[in-house]
Amino acid sequence: MPTPHHGEGEAQQRVLHGFRIAVGLSLVVLVIESVGAFFSRSLSLTVDAVHNLPDVAAFAISYAALASTREGSSDRFTFGTHRLEVFAGIINGAIVLGAGLVFGYEAVDSLVRATSFAGPVDAAWLLLAAVPTLGLRAVNLRVLAPGSLRSSDLNLRSVVVHLASDIAITGALLVAGGLLLIRPGLAWIDPLAALVIAGLLVREAMPLLREGVDVLTERTPRGISIDAISKSTLAVPGVAEVHDIHVWSVCSSLVCMTAHVAVREMSLKQSIDVVESLRARMEREFGILHATFQVECPPAA
């Protein structure tokens, strides 16, 4: 029978709402930029339009993965289907990295050869696509940012950081379009903007790949210290010793841990109270939503 996870329900609705917004607006931006890229013949706008494709796919997969966890775990998936989000992040990172490298090469080639991507750039079409794109991304960021500040969910925060990066990319498009509108002869402006955008994509992809590998290899989450957890555990009254601490991430929003704790001589009720105090402490201090403690007798003198 499905069972809910410790501490997951509180943030899940905010995350799902954020992904619904991200998917919807990313689709609108994709359409606008695709049309603009076709008519403007702009390499920089084409890079950003292609970059929207993995965004839409990753947001949609992540949304589906999180939505499927509403009923909790099952006999087949004891932690639900959270790992789908991780695979989506790795795929997204790989595609974004590939797009950055390919278009970065194309931008450098255009700069070296002093040639345009597909003919003279139409600055008007470039600006017609960039202006509404900036507005949509700003609305998305305004909607999501307050929730990310109140939430401990890393997934929602990553979406906000991603949208902030997208706004920076849109700013580069606006600068390129404005300069080309004033000075149409500055053909190098567009490939230079494309190179800047490609660099941002490569930079954006690396954390996605790194975090995905960290989760799949069950690395201790960055920012969490085993030594700090040990000291915090020993600070709980009744705990005499702690060992065999294991901390890992099921996905970006679910950190788990197990540990063996030796407690001083006490009743069963008191030992249960100690475990509850430990769980609350782990969630409050380290954001660990699923902590399991095996209680043991104190070491022999």
- % of residues, the chain, pLDDT over 90: 31
Burial of 241 (0-12, 13-18, 19+ CB in 10 A): middle
Of 158 and 33, which is predicted with more confidence? 33
Do 249 and 178 share a domain, yes or no?
no
Stretch 211-238: mean pLDDT: 90
Do 194 and 272 share a domain, yes or no?
no
253 is written with which tokens?
Answer: 């929003």
- Evaluate whether residue 301 is within a structural domain: no
pLDDT digits (tens, 9 = 90+) for 40-80: 989 899 988 888 877 677 667 666 666 665 555 666 666 66
Do 158 and 283 share a domain, yes or no?
no
Do 262 and 235 share a domain, yes or no?
yes
State the chain's mean pLDDT as an integer.
Answer: 81
Residue 158: C-alpha distances to residues 95, 211, 275 (Å): 17, 11, 32
Q: Are 124 and 181 in contact (CB under 8 A)?
A: yes
- Evaluate whether residue 152 is within a structural domain: yes
* CATH code (residue 143): 1.20.1510.10
Do 197 and 122 share a domain, yes or no?
yes
Last residue of a domain, one of 216, 248, 279: 216
Of 77 and 155, which is predicted with more confidence? 77
Burial of 284 (0-12, 13-18, 19+ CB in 10 A): exposed
pLDDT at 265: 86
Do 204 and 257 share a domain, yes or no?
no
Last residue of a domain, one of 198, 216, 234: 216
Q: Are 295 and 275 in contact (CB under 8 A)?
A: yes
Do 199 and 246 share a domain, yes or no?
no
Bridge-based pairing of strands 239-251 and 78-81 is unpaired
Of 233 and 111, which is predicted with more confidence? 233
Do 210 and 232 share a domain, yes or no?
no
Do 27 and 127 share a domain, yes or no?
yes
Q: At 146, is the pLDDT very low, low, confident or very high (cuts 50, 70, 90)?
A: low
Distance CA 53, CA 27 (A): 9
Of 65-74, 128-137, 195-204, the one with minimum mean pLDDT is: 65-74
Do 212 and 251 share a domain, yes or no?
no
Number of domains in the chain: 2
Which residues, 6 or more positions from 109, have their beta carbon under 8 angstroms from its beta carbon? none
- Evaluate whether residue 36 is within a structural domain: yes
Chain centre distance of CA 254: 13
Do 23 and 97 share a domain, yes or no?
yes
Distance CA 282, CA 232 (A): 8
Distance CA 221, CA 225 (A): 8
Q: Are 193 and 232 in contact (CB under 8 A)?
A: no
Stretch 236-252: mean pLDDT: 89
pLDDT at 7: 44
Q: Are 43 and 172 in contact (CB under 8 A)?
A: no
- Evaluate whether residue 221 is within a structural domain: no
pLDDT at 244: 93
Q: At 165, is the pLDDT very low, low, confident or very high (cuts 50, 70, 90)?
A: confident
What domain range includes position 245?
Answer: 226-296
Of 53-62, 87-96, 174-183, the one with minimum mean pLDDT is: 53-62
pLDDT at 56: 76
Distance CA 69, CA 166 (A): 29
- Evaluate whether residue 180 is within a structural domain: yes
Q: Are 41 and 120 in contact (CB under 8 A)?
A: yes
Q: Are 53 and 94 in contact (CB under 8 A)?
A: no
- % of residues, the chain, pLDDT over 70: 76
Local structure of residue 7 (DSSP, 8 states): T
Tell me the residue type at 26.
Answer: S
- Evaluate whether residue 2 is within a structural domain: no
User: Which H or E element spans position 247?
Assistant: strand 239-251
Local structure of residue 257 (DSSP, 8 states): E
pLDDT digits (tens, 9 = 90+) for 13-32: 666 776 777 778 888 999 99
Do 202 and 257 share a domain, yes or no?
no
Question: Considering only CA atoms, which of 31, 193, 36 is closest in space to residue 116?
Answer: 193
Local structure of residue 98 (DSSP, 8 states): H
Q: Are 266 and 301 in contact (CB under 8 A)?
A: no
pLDDT at 155: 53
Answer yes or no: is pLDDT of 8 > 60. no
Q: Are 190 and 114 in contact (CB under 8 A)?
A: no
User: Which H or E element spans position 249?
Assistant: strand 239-251
First CA to last CA distance, the chain: 44
Bridge-based pairing of strands 239-251 and 290-296 is unpaired
- Evaluate whether residue 154 is within a structural domain: yes
